[in-house]
Amino acid sequence: MTTARERALIAQIRHDWPAPSPEAVATSLQLVERIKAAMAEGGGMIGFDRYMDMALYAPGLGYYSAGATRFGAAGDFVTAPLVSSLFSRTLARQCGECLAALQAPVVLELGAGSGDMAADILTELAALGQLPERYLILEVSAALREQQRETLARKAPQLADRVQWLDRLPAEPVEGVLLANEVLDALPVQRFRLDGDSVRELTVTLDGERFAWAERDAPEPLRRAVETVLAALEEPLPAGYVSEYCSRLAPWLASLADVLACGVMLFIDYGYPRAEYYHPQRGMGTLMCHYRHRAHGDPLILPGLQDITAFVDFTAVADAGVAAGLEVLGFTSQAQFLLAAGLLELLQEMPVEPGSPEGLALAQQVKTLTLPGEMGERLKVLALGRGYDGPLTGFSLSDQRARL
């Protein structure tokens, strides 16, 4: 016998989507109760940033914290490290170049997902003779930390002892390379709507058994932040325009800057420079959700059972970096970065016959990573740094900092 609440949740599944397991439904319903309690405390509504935070990270219940498979064919979406190890190996070449220019460097990876990128980067760095003493992983999800341990033990057992998991950023500043692949797009964002001269905050409330959008006057910090964005744009935005703003970005980046004594940060993510992010035609915002390889734009359904992301305003990331004392060292598309950093050379070195099934599979992986309609242009790479004057070959084909 299903309850009314279970039926209401299951009714959110579109007809051609796979149904969640009974355990997943039970976890989601517990999360719904927790979100409802937060709403009750907040006078019947909560900001979308709070909702996104709980839906993704509520301990034991959120999308990234509940322990279910999220990445790869059996999960909900695929990131570049799971498309092909060529992605991580090419990134490792850029890391190796940076590590070689530093005195006693470490690698610090944020949000390591399945752990495949860490395993493949370490393997490539070993082949290049550029292994760092320590490969640090800061992961907010205990469940993912376990998955990362298993992946490293399986794929790179001889290197796994170099990996240390951190609960928080290192207490002492480090020298090295900080990596974050698809982490910025997982930071909770606020949502707003322009209404004449005023800025409204889009919030989340309850409508029967379902979550629904509501709105209120934007709190002062959000209103000021949106007005600053608007003042920097060349074209005015139309009334009714909806978008996102990540108020957590600047403090988060400042905390990262504090722990980088010397070195480079590489952020790889879906996003645009500000003028494209807040483009008059992008009037519905940039939220993107993934459930079992179905991409859609409704973050209020299936709480805890789907990924929720917002595209990244890379101008905001660069500005936050500069405000935190970092330099902007490069900005380009993923395709241009990978091609400059040696993707095709690595492909040619692979011991496979061109035209063989393995060769065709690799060619397809390279296309997915680099074609404009796939990951090539939609993902960007931004390098920030402190005290680094070594080379950054990944930006040698195309450096688009002027677009930021």
Ligand X SMILES: C[S@@+](CC[C@H](N)C(=O)[O-])C[C@H]1O[C@@H](n2cnc3c(N)ncnc32)[C@H](O)[C@@H]1O
Q: Which residues bind ligand X (CB under 6 A)?
A: 64, 71, 79, 81, 110-114, 117, 138-141, 144, 181-183, 186
- Terminus-to-terminus CA distance in the chain, angstroms? 55
Calpha distance 305→76 (Å, rounded): 9
Calpha distance 400→404 (Å, rounded): 8
List, in sequence order, the alpha helices (H) in 129-219. 142-155
Q: Give the shortest CB-331-to-ligand X separation in angstroms.
A: 19
Beta strands 327-333; 198-207: pairing state: unpaired
Q: Give the shortest CB-196-to-ligand X separation in angstroms.
A: 35
Amino acid at 343: L
Calpha distance 97→341 (Å, rounded): 10
Q: Give the shortest CB-26-to-ligand X separation in angstroms.
A: 22
Q: What is residue 214's three-state secondary structure? A: strand
Q: Give the shortest CB-317-to-ligand X separation in angstroms.
A: 14
* Residue with smaller CB distance to ligand X, 88 or 205: 88
* Residue with smaller CB distance to ligand X, 91 or 340: 91
User: What is the greatest pairwise CA distance in the chain?
Assistant: 65
Calpha distance 74→182 (Å, rounded): 19
* Residue with smaller CB distance to ligand X, 9 or 144: 144
Q: Give the shortest CB-142-to-ligand X separation in angstroms.
A: 10
Q: Any idea what DSSP says for residue 284?
A: B
Q: Give the shortest CB-148-to-ligand X separation in angstroms.
A: 9
Cβ atoms of residues 141 and 210 within 8 Å: no
Calpha distance 237→24 (Å, rounded): 40
Half-sphere exposure of 339 (CA within 13 A, CB side): 14
Q: Which structure tokens are listed for 149?
A: 């341990």
* Residue with smaller CB distance to ligand X, 9 or 81: 81
Q: Give the shortest CB-2-to-ligand X separation in angstroms.
A: 31
* Residue with smaller CB distance to ligand X, 140 or 326: 140
Q: Give the shortest CB-71-to-ligand X separation in angstroms.
A: 6
* Residue with smaller CB distance to ligand X, 138 or 246: 138
* Residue with smaller CB distance to ligand X, 27 or 79: 79
Burial class from Cβ neighbours inside 10 Å (0-12, 13-18, 19+) for residue 235 reads exposed
Calpha distance 272→251 (Å, rounded): 20
Buried/exposed code over 103-125 (b: 16+ C-beta within 10 A; e: otherwise):
eebbbbbbbbbbbbbbbbbbbbb
* Residue with smaller CB distance to ligand X, 28 or 114: 114
